[in-house]
Amino acid sequence: MTLVETVRRIKEAEEKALKDYKDLLKELKKPEDAELKRVVLRLAVDKIFHKELMEAIERAYKEASALLKEHLEPFYPELEPIRESVMELDEGLALLPGVPSLLLPLDFGKVGYRIPPEEVLEELVKSFPEVSIIPQDKLDKIMEKFNDVIEREKEMQEGYKELENRAKHPIIKELSKAVLHNEEQHNAILTKVVGKFRK
C-alpha cells in the first residue's frame, strides 16, 4: 500500500467516525446526557482535525510529487522521486526533508528535527557552479530571490512560534512545533546556500 493510499484509508475512517460521533450527539439531548455529550463532542472535534490533516497531507503529497517530477527527475532519474519513499528511509539512504536530491548516509541516522551538520551542508553546496562563472545579472536575480525567501522564512518561524505558544489543541501545538523545526532546517540550508553565492 502506498503512502497516499494509507492516507486515504485513514481519512475515510476518520470521516466515518466523525459521522458516527455527530449521530451520537443528536441522540444525547437530555440534561443527564450533558457529561457524556461533552466527552463525545471533544472526540468529534479531534476527528475534524484528524480528517482535515489527512486531506492536507494528501493534497501536499500530490503537489510535492508533481513538483519533484517536473524539476528533479530529469536530472536524478535514479532517485525515482515519485515513489512513496521520497520522505522515508530507502535502500540504506535517508532523504533530507526539504532537499529531495541530497542523500545522507544511513549512519547519520534519522534526520528528524536535527539541523543538518556542517559537512552535510558542505556536500550540498559543493556541486553548485562557481560564482565566478554565473553572469552577474543572473546572480543578482538569484540573490534577490534568496533574500526574499529568507525574509519569508523569518516571518514563518515567528508565526509558528506564536502558533505553538497560543494553540490550545495538542495536535495544532505539536504540528506547529514540528513545522518550526523544519523551518529551522530550511534556515540552516538557506544560510549555507547564500554563503556560497556571496563568496
DSSP string spanning 55-69? HHHHHHHHHHHHHHH
Angle (CA) 103-189-137 rounded to 5° is 110
pLDDT of residue 89: 33
Distance CA 95, CA 88 (A): 7
Residues 114, 57 share a domain: no
Question: If 0-12 CB within 10 Å is exposed, 13-18 middle and 19+ buried, where does residue 166 land?
Answer: exposed
- Going residue by residue through the chain, which has 199 residues, state the pLDDT in tens, using 9 for 90 and above: 677 788 889 999 999 999 999 999 999 999 999 999 999 999 999 999 999 999 998 888 878 777 777 776 666 565 554 444 444 433 333 445 555 445 555 455 556 667 778 887 887 788 788 888 889 898 899 899 998 999 999 999 999 999 999 999 898 999 999 889 888 888 888 888 888 888 6
Closest Cα partner for 182 from 100, 112, 85?
Answer: 112
The β-bridge partners of 104 are 94
pLDDT of residue 121: 81
Q: Is 20 helix (H, G, I), strand (E, B) or coil?
A: helix
E-strand spans in 42-137? 89-90, 93-95, 103-105
37 backbone dihedrals φ, ψ, rounded to 5°? -65, -40
Q: Within a domain: residue 90? A: no
Residue 60's domain comprises 1-82
Residues 129, 177 share a domain: yes
Q: Within a domain: residue 94? A: no
Q: Within a domain: residue 44? A: yes
Q: Within a domain: residue 31? A: yes
Q: Is 90 helix (H, G, I), strand (E, B) or coil?
A: strand
Distance CA 99, CA 113 (A): 14
**Residue 23 vs residues 41, 62, 132: alpha-carbon distances, Å:** 11, 33, 67
Residues 139, 68 share a domain: no
Q: Report the domain count for the chain.
A: 2
Distance CA 27, CA 17 (A): 16
**Residue 184 vs residues 60, 129, 161: alpha-carbon distances, Å:** 20, 25, 11
Q: Within a domain: residue 96? A: no
Q: Within a domain: residue 104? A: no
Distance CA 37, CA 31 (A): 10
